[in-house]
């Protein structure tokens, strides 16, 4: 219960995770209880390097970090997130380097535990899985199209706030009417790149 109260507001920085808490609080509770790690980064400490396996999505809770790819550097601060693709794409590998500019507090969402929470939601026919499936489909097929420097497309920071909100608006319009069969069909259509074939029937 304490983990839920502490981490739910931080997860809510991300539009999908905010809506997930609304549609399926049990799924969010499981994520808060089992999937969260905390990182206190000192100045100039690395969070990850190019080529590292993507095992977490990260959300900045305080401080400032930078993400660098192909000599292009982006500053991230409180409420920003990165490496979301690791949640949805199997065997994601970091495309750049992430370092703390000054002391920063980061939470990491374990890819493995997040998938377990989503699978449990699906097995119990809760709407959180339906939301996740529909969102994942949109994310991996659409998010590279938004207007960023070419070096940052499909990198660890793809999907800014307004773009993700646009996806959420599309998938929540009728999520309450999606049946389990429909969710499974979406899962099959996503294809090998995502986590969802492991959930399809």
- Beta-bridge partner residues of 100: 65
**Could you tell me the strand order of the sheet in which 56-62 lies?**
36-41, 104-110, 56-62, 81-82
Q: What pLDDT is recorded for position 27? A: 97
Map tokens 């074939």 to a residue.
197
Beta bridge partners of 53: 93
Q: Phi and psi dihedrals of 125, rounded to 5?
A: 55, 35
Per-residue pLDDT of the chain (201 residues; tens, 9 = 90+): 789 999 999 999 999 999 999 999 999 999 999 999 999 999 999 999 999 999 999 999 999 999 999 889 999 999 999 999 999 999 999 999 999 999 999 999 999 999 999 999 999 999 999 999 899 988 888 756 556 666 677 789 887 788 888 889 888 875 655 434 344 443 343 333 344 433 322
Q: How far is CA 50 from the centre of its chain?
A: 18
The phi-psi region of residue 97 (left if phi > 0; otherwise alpha if psi is between -120 and 50; otherwise beta) is: beta
d(CA 108, CA 186): 27
């Amino acid at each position: 219960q304490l983990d839920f109260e502490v981490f739910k507001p931080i997860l809510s920085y991300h539009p999908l995770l905010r809506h997930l808490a609304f549609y399926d609080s049990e799924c969010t509770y499981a994520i808060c209880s089992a999937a969260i790690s905390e990182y206190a980064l000192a100045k100039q400490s690395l969070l990850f390097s190019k080529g590292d396996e993507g095992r977490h999505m990260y959300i900045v809770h305080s401080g400032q970090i930078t993400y660098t790819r192909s000599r292009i550097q982006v500053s991230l601060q409180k409420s920003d997130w990165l490496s979301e693709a690791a949640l949805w794409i199997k065997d994601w590998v970091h495309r750049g380097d992430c370092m703390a500019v000054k002391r920063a507090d980061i939470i990491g969402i374990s890819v493995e535990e997040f998938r377990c929470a989503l699978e449990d939601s699906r097995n119990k026919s809760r709407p959180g899985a339906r939301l996740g499936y529909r969102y994942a489909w949109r994310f991996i097929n659409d998010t590279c199209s938004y207007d960023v420097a070419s070096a940052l497309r499909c990198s660890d920071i793809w999907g800014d706030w307004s773009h993700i909100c646009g996806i959420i608006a599309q998938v929540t319009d009728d999520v309450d009417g999606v049946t389990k069969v429909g969710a499974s069909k979406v899962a099959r259509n996503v294809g090998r790149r995502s986590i969802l074939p492991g959930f399809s029937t």
